[in-house]
Structure 1
């Protein structure tokens, strides 16, 4: 059974660790992530983007796939299925009605008042279903943008974060503080001072997007400053792709997709296990 993120993130904050969000891009990603979480006895968040849901077949297919794996694999750890970067109220509603247990409404491109208004619309429909909600303040960079060098252009403002929490009471939120989606082009430079101030003033679990490629010490420092959820996708994608490429280069005669996709699943599982240990969530289920 899928659960919301609320309890697992509150527990993470209280015990000073983070829960990983690992995106499911297909069946093998879902398998590897769930098996790793069960092996490590860690709570886990399966991230689902709009694009991945469409690729899989739709939100209902994705929900049924994850719930089926939980049942067939005998998964006992808490599992949330979370809409990642929901771009509209309508998309969040579609995901909630399909059965996801958590949604992110990303209205960060709007002025803070409009961001709050949009977030509250999602809060209303999510709360009615027991679904947890994540919001974003500021703009998390993309992998082709490199490392953000001007904090005032894209980094979250402390007063905006406090206003969002006071007026929405979301379960967690992602303040943009220098992390980027994808691997970093240059040395990451997270605004830890601002992160610490934001957490002290809001007391809400923070979400660190762009966890792929971040040094372990940066991740653990962020956890100390309130990050209870860390998102990882690119590292798993890279591990899976490298495995498939290597296998097909070594065995060009191979044609059974179960052979190379199964190996890709195993590489994802190993990568997730490593990240779970870095985040400190092993044996926290």
Structure 2
């Protein structure tokens, strides 16, 4: 079994200079796409479950899908990560359920909508880190609010996202505060705010430095060079899949995502985990729409869901190769969580 802590995987990524795409999963076909792509490219895997995914599929179903992947691909290191935990109790439940990594998102209050104070964020994140590290589980924190530097608004996803107008300061992580946060909480990884947001509608134009602050990554990395940085809302929103959707009856307005070349620049400066969800959604939606347009009489879900899975697999292969993951899985010797717990305690 190759369940791995996120800390061990990201340490390996830092040592060898690559980043790891963290794919959100909701159903069987997404898990299959990710694992087939990882197997093809010899890449380690981070699969993560959001609150919305857990509500949609049911936590036991989702957990067992990931555990089935671990059983089916014992040669692939897999992180089972809980995305955007709104409270310590959510994180503790995930730890008890067998997740090897949790995110305590204290940037917002427990309602997932109200921006929290810095002091609150430190308190809840430190509390979760203490509990998680005792059993070898990794912790990701967040500092700053995800949202658009164009509009000053957060992109809501699965009911999670700050409400109201956000200031420029809220939308950009402060490097000095990041150093203080890591020192006080002991997190393994830190999600930073640089102008990215959840969902398909990230940028109304191709992003430039005024709306996507890649330079801020360099500044943060210079303050905390030994902390793994995380980019949320980092789907690239492939224009070719937007076109497929539109050509087959979809009505998506003009939108742009985070260019892969900008993510690669982030990887050079300490970004080790890159969250991706929308790209898979777009590819699967486009494939299903195209399938029904070609064969309106189709009614066997195994056929059109296979097309969706294959489209998602292409996205995953491309990201594994672009971020430098390919060929790395077989070089990782997975440590049990019990060993990680001893390391944290030492």
What's the TM-score, normalizing by structure 2? Answer: 0.78
| Alignment check: 8 A CA contact 2:13 2:20 kept | yes
| Alignment check: 8 A CA contact 2:189 2:230 kept | yes
Structure number with larger C-alpha Rg: 2
Equivalence for 1:43 = 44
| Alignment check: 8 A CA contact 2:149 2:212 kept | no
Alpha carbons of 1:129 and 1:267: their partners in 2 closer, same or farther (altered >3 Å)? same
Structure 2 residue aligned with 1:151, among 145, 153, 168? Answer: 168
What is the SS of the residue equivalent to 1:243? helix
Where in structure 2 are there 5+ consecutive unaligned residues?
A: 109-115, 155-165, 237-257, 330-346
Q: Which aligned segments of 4 or more residues in structure 1 are displaced greater than 3 angstroms?
A: 142-151
What is the SS of the residue equivalent to 1:230? strand
Please identify which structure carries the higher helix content: 1
Equivalence for 1:279 = 323
Where in structure 1 are there 5+ consecutive unaligned residues?
A: none
Structure 2 residue aligned with 1:201, among 223, 226, 247? Answer: 223
| Alignment check: 8 A CA contact 1:133 1:171 kept | yes
What is the SS of the residue equivalent to 1:229? strand
- Which whole-Å deviations, capped at 9, do the CAs of 1:120-149 have from their partners, x for residues lacking one? 111122112211110000001279958899
**1:169-184 pair list within 5 angstroms:** 169-183=186-200, 184=203
Structure 2 residue aligned with 1:230, among 253, 270, 274? Answer: 274
Tell me, in whole angstroms, the C-alpha distance in 2 between the residues paired with 1:272 and 1:160: 34
| Alignment check: 8 A CA contact 2:148 2:195 kept | no
| Alignment check: 8 A CA contact 2:152 2:167 kept | no
1:117 matches 2:123:
yes
RMSD between superposed Cα atoms in Å: 2.0
What's the TM-score, normalizing by structure 1? Answer: 0.93
**1:252-267 pair list within 5 angstroms:** 252-267=296-311
Deviation at 1:195, TM superposition (A): 1.4
Report the number of matched residues: 283
What is the SS of the residue equivalent to 1:210? coil
Deviation at 1:8, TM superposition (A): 1.1
| Alignment check: 8 A CA contact 2:285 2:308 kept | yes
Deviation at 1:225, TM superposition (A): 1.3
